[in-house]
Structure 1
Amino acid sequence: MIRTPEQLEALIPAAALRADDSWWPRPGPDPFRLVVGARTLPAEQWLRPRPHDAALVTWRRALLDEQGEAAFQALPGTTAAGRAVLDLVCGVTGDVSSSSMTGRHPLDLAGRLVAEDLCLVDLTGGRPRLTGASLAMPNRWLLADKLGRDMLAVHVPVPGYAGQLAAVVDRFLTGLREHRIMTRANWAITDDPRLFQPAADSRARQGDRIRTPAQAAVSLHVRVEYQTLRLLPEPARDSALFTIRTAHEPLSALADRPAVAGGLAATIAVMPPADLDYKGVLPYREAVLELLRGYAGQT
């Protein structure tokens, strides 16, 4: 039986979309400011498979087929970098890359083997830019809007990015070294249960309906992006690979993780309104804070 992406999404076990506690970023500083928050990741932990990944990978393949250019695009001249990505991914998954070269871009092939979204970043000229992506779980951004653009343009919607992070991120990316893998995390809250969320206008649709902690617990979801960055090997050393493993859980799933709930509440409590809006929290701030503090035992 051939199933649609929607049918396959319903078959993904909740455990496949649960964030490891180690994925969560540390509580934001007070007063709040943007930070890269990257650390070194041991090579053996890169793209480490988790239980139930098979269902997620099956869904990704169907979603990539259905969405076409909305989920995969790569600029001309990226084949060598894509092949380097495919070789790295096959080294983890055990697939044989040469047997799969069927006319698809190698980055597209790589994105069909793992649970992560894969993004290519060109590093030449000191201004890193997005040159390709296999993107099944975008968090309210359109690939067509970002492809070919530098990091400042990619992050235009992020409040404070231009002044606080743009130069830092460009230096960080162009300073990557082979065999040194970096990792960081990001998070957002959404009232949309779907995994594939490319539209920015999907943010905060239920602001008038979700008013209490009980409503927030069942109607809001938290998305955590566990991200890795690594320089590609020769002959593609002018490009980097950015991976995004997305966890997507109802807020109620934090009831058994008091430390995580408390850290997220601490961050939300110090965030300015513009950042809360970008994170999808602003219409629900008080209900979410009360809920998370209750989970953390702070009430």
Structure 2
Amino acid sequence: MSAEGWFETAPEAAARAAIALAAAPGVALEHAPLTPFMDPRTAGAPGVAPLDPADWLVAAADHDAQMAARDALIAAMPDRVLAHDPAADAAAQELLELVIAHQSARGRLRAPGGAALRADGVRVPLEQGPPIAVAARLAQEDFVILDRPAGAAEHVLLSAAVCFPAHWTLAEKFRRPLVRIHRPVPGYEGELARRVQRLFDGVRAGRPLVRANWNFQSERALWTPVSEAEKMAAASAPCAPRAPERWLRVERQTILRLARSGAVVFAIRTFLSPIEALTPAQRRGLGRALAALGEEERAAKAGPALRAWAQAAEGSAPG
């Protein structure tokens, strides 16, 4: 599943250093800019809304630290953050061209000649490495390319650069269809799976969609891969001790159809904020959202201590 011939695996020390960069203070924000749990329409899945193409990719004060982590992870662990099937060659090149055009139009990079100069001053060669990896070095988003082969019932993951996996591993999802990709997401199979497939079938070029996923974690860390076996083992032991969850993790997820290739790009922009950054109103909204979820989904998003903290805000003064 690695991008064979594109990169050489770096020494283990480089991998540890890259993972440390993905947990550095600057990768998080001091406020919570995106709180999907505040609105019942976006608190649960799929919670999809139309998106202005001008807002496809977003940058914030966490840009420089996150980009440094992305550069390091791609260089040190290509076999863990990159996956590419040659069937997606044209789509990956189209994605790279779109990212360059989008970021350049917003002043986030300049691309004279064969390199792009990012806002943090880093020069990224445009022809050094696979297009999917280069695209991931020009934006804070992770990129996943999916397409629906002729005669197939579902879209299949054919190419990806995922530096900030939220408790999953790319190797287990590569070349898998949507239902298999989402294993073991609580409640995905059935009607939700059919709705998601209809979204991927129906999204039109020039009319992207956006949604958000959210949960809480114990550490300030963006590199958080977890295998399916580990997730199922944790689900089978719901009473096991849980580390204090001090960080809100929100994924802004966009679905975009590539005009030439027809493939679909699933882009993931990760925001990390300390729970102390939540305003009183956001904390109350979180308590209401957690109370409205089914038990399995609620347990997946937050442990008992955090749920109690959020729900205790119901009795506080308006904020």
Give the TM-score category using the shorter length: 0.7 to 0.9
Name the amino acid aligned to 1:49. A
Q: Give the match's secondary structure for 1:108.
A: helix
Name the amino acid aligned to 2:148. L
2:193 maps to what in 1?
166
- In 1, Cα distance between the equivalents of 2:28 and 2:224? 20
1:109 maps to what in 2?
134
Name the amino acid aligned to 2:146. V
Query: Which 5+ residue runs of structure 1 have no aligned equivalent?
Result: 211-215
Query: Which 5+ residue runs of structure 2 have no aligned equivalent?
Result: 1-13, 105-109, 115-124
Q: Is 2:94 the partner of 1:84?
A: yes
The answer as to whether partners of 2:23 and 2:220 remain within 8 angstroms in 1 is: no
- In 1, Cα distance between the equivalents of 2:222 and 2:45? 26
1:267 maps to what in 2?
289
Question: Taking every aligned residue pair, what percent have the same amino acid on both sides?
Answer: 28
Q: Which of 231, 240, 244 is the aligned partner of 2:257?
A: 231
Name the amino acid aligned to 1:85. L
- In 2, Cα distance between the equivalents of 1:193 and 1:48? 21
Deviation at 1:93, TM superposition (A): 2.4
Q: Is 2:241 the partner of 1:208?
A: yes
The answer as to whether partners of 2:30 and 2:277 remain within 8 angstroms in 1 is: no
Q: Which of 243, 252, 270 is the aligned partner of 1:246?
A: 270
Deviation at 1:191, TM superposition (A): 2.1
2:144 maps to what in 1?
119
Moved more, 141-150 or 88-97: 88-97
1:213 maps to what in 2?
none
- In 2, Cα distance between the equivalents of 1:189 and 1:123? 33
**CA displacement 1:46-100 (0-9 Å, x = unmatched):** 2132234122111111012222221111112211101111011101222439723
Q: TM-score, normalization: structure 2?
A: 0.78
1:276 maps to what in 2?
298
Name the amino acid aligned to 1:246. T
| Residues 98, 162 of structure 1: alpha-carbon distance in 2 compared, 3 angstrom cutoff | farther
Q: Cα RMSD over matched residues?
A: 2.9
The answer as to whether partners of 1:28 and 1:266 remain within 8 angstroms in 2 is: no
Q: Give the match's secondary structure for 1:131.
A: strand
Name the amino acid aligned to 1:228. T
2:46 maps to what in 1?
36
Name the amino acid aligned to 1:220. R
| Residues 177, 267 of structure 1: alpha-carbon distance in 2 compared, 3 angstrom cutoff | same
Q: TM-score, normalization: structure 1?
A: 0.82
1:222 maps to what in 2?
248
- In 2, Cα distance between the equivalents of 1:164 and 1:288? 30
- In 2, Cα distance between the equivalents of 1:85 and 1:57? 18
The answer as to whether partners of 2:96 and 2:131 remain within 8 angstroms in 1 is: yes
- In 2, Cα distance between the equivalents of 1:70 and 1:55? 20
Name the amino acid aligned to 2:100. C
- In 1, Cα distance between the equivalents of 2:254 and 2:74? 21
Moved more, 119-128 or 140-149: 119-128
- In 1, Cα distance between the equivalents of 2:88 and 2:145? 8
| Residues 15, 6 of structure 1: alpha-carbon distance in 2 compared, 3 angstrom cutoff | closer
Q: Is 2:38 the partner of 1:5?
A: no
| Residues 247, 49 of structure 1: alpha-carbon distance in 2 compared, 3 angstrom cutoff | closer
Moved more, 33-42 or 187-196: 33-42
- In 2, Cα distance between the equivalents of 1:70 and 1:14? 20
Q: Which of 160, 169, 185 is the aligned partner of 1:142?
A: 169
1:24 maps to what in 2?
36
- Structure 1 runs, 4 residues or longer, greater than 6 Å off: 202-206
The answer as to whether partners of 2:30 and 2:273 remain within 8 angstroms in 1 is: yes
Name the amino acid aligned to 1:20. P
Moved more, 40-49 or 9-18: 9-18
- In 2, Cα distance between the equivalents of 1:253 and 1:146? 33
- In 1, Cα distance between the equivalents of 2:217 and 2:191? 25
